[in-house]
Amino acid sequence: MKPAGYQELKHIPGGEGAWPIIGNFIEFTTNTLPYLQAEQQKNGDVFKGSNPLGYSVIVTKPEANKILLVDQAKSTSNQLAWELALGELFPNGLMLMDGDKHKTHRSIILEAFKPKPMQGYLDELPAVFESEFEKLDGRSDFDALPFFKRLTLKIAAKIFFGFDLKGDINQIDKAITAIVEASTALPLKLPFTRYQKGINGRAFLVDYFKQVLPERRSRPGTDLFSRLCEATNESGERLSDQEIIDHLIFVLMAAHDTTAITLTWMSYFMAKYPEWQVKMRREAAELNTGQPLKLSDLRALESASLVLKETLRIHPPLILIPRFLTEELELEGQRLPAGTVVNTVLQMTHQDERVWTHPELFDPERFNAERKEHNRCPFAYMPFGAGNHHCIGFQFAEMSAKLGISMLLDRFELSLFAGYESDSRAVPFKQPKDKMPLRLNRHS
């Protein structure tokens, strides 16, 4: 289906001052939230923008999330929305599938996130965290973002792929970072461009997994990699080598970046708001029973749950979700023709004053049993998406973040350097612009 162009969307306000060809691309990628907020103030909750891939509509009304992602999901395509930017970088990833194919492949991967394997992951996680946190002993500071990226990469490799990256970790980290950075670059396949570096990063990972795939096919274990090797596709045939590799690359990206970014922001907020650090440390101490952890133990970490939710409200790793309309849809009084790419902006609905009390403040108690601000408007809060494409690994991400921050605080006190304030960029993921330097003191 042909994407909607300017003529089909000329009745939608917005897009003034756009550059020829590149449209609002530079504003969106370098000054994302101020740009979106300014457009919302001028044009309301539905407006259009443009970039080298074409025109799109942006929706910032919280109520629209449910309509677009749940109620009218059958009139949209996830694949056609994402493949414009990610088609060459993550071909056949779960995000780039629709219909029966998506249902089949999702059910295969979902097996890796059921209670029994999840408990198995929890059995392994503490040792990985402990090993990495030991490396911080004796230090007075650390750079949180690169530290957590390496940590979550090791976790993904061990738990989902069943092997130790050892000397390959730097190259794999570099490759994944290049692919993610390429997702918001101009699609120019020229030497030294961000996009070409992403293509090169993908090629490296394809070759890497091709080398280890034959052994895993012949001697499967219980990890996700092995499950994919034994699974069948929608035609009842075993997944091809390329299908397996495509899934592995996508899972590696999702498990690596988003959880690392969340742990980084949680660490920052704990350093900035020490009263919450005290609450979480008190809860974390209760995990030290000498007995293996159970999933219910993590669900009992109330303060960690509140802090995680508030962190994801303020800094959702992915700030918007696109959908491609396969049928005409009316949204907030505007007629959107088939072919329109519609983006719902999580970052703005998460901080909408129509839903949240003083949304600019870090206030985890807004999620407690008494206030329940997230229930005021269905799907106004959805850091893991919604509907059929709701993040399949959200429970693992929550488990890793809560356990990781709890074990870190049980071992260390975090604080900020004098005068330090974080700054962030919104795309491709909502992450700090710097490495997030934090001070450390060994907790006695």
The number of distinct structural domains making up the chain is: 1
* Six-digit token string for 65: 């999330």
pLDDT for res 390 = 95
Q: What is the DSSP letter of 238?
A: B
Taking residue 90's Cβ as centre, other Cβ atoms within 10 Å add up to 24
* Six-digit token string for 276: 């919450």
**Mean pLDDT of residues grouped by 10 in the chain (444 residues)?**
90 90 90 94 96 93 95 95 91 92 91 91 94 96 96 91 80 92 88 94 95 91 88 83 93 88 98 96 83 90 97 97 96 95 96 97 98 96 95 94 96 96 93 97 86
> The whole model's pTM is what?
0.95
* Six-digit token string for 66: 């449910």
pLDDT for res 197 = 96
DSSP for 344-405 reads EEHHHHTT-TTTSSSTTS--GGGGSTTT-GGGSSTTS--TT--GGGS-TTHHHHHHHHHHHH
* Angstrom distance (rounded) from CA 283 to CA 27: 43
* Six-digit token string for 280: 């979480």
pLDDT for res 137 = 95
Q: What is the DSSP letter of 290?
A: S
Kindly tell me the burial class for residue 296, based on how many C-beta atoms sit within 10 Å of its own C-beta (0-12, 13-18, 19 or more): exposed
Cis previous bond, 378, omega within 30 = no
Q: Is residue 400 part of a domain?
A: yes
We report the CATH number of the domain holding residue 275 as 1.10.630.10
Q: Is residue 1 part of a domain?
A: no
First to last CA, the chain: 62
* Angstrom distance (rounded) from CA 131 to CA 127: 6
Kindly tell me the burial class for residue 360, based on how many C-beta atoms sit within 10 Å of its own C-beta (0-12, 13-18, 19 or more): exposed
CB 321 within 8 A of CB 343: yes
Q: Residue 221: which domain range?
A: 6-442
Which residues are registered as beta bridge partners of 440?
414
Angle in degrees, CA 213, 215, 219, rounded to 5 = 120
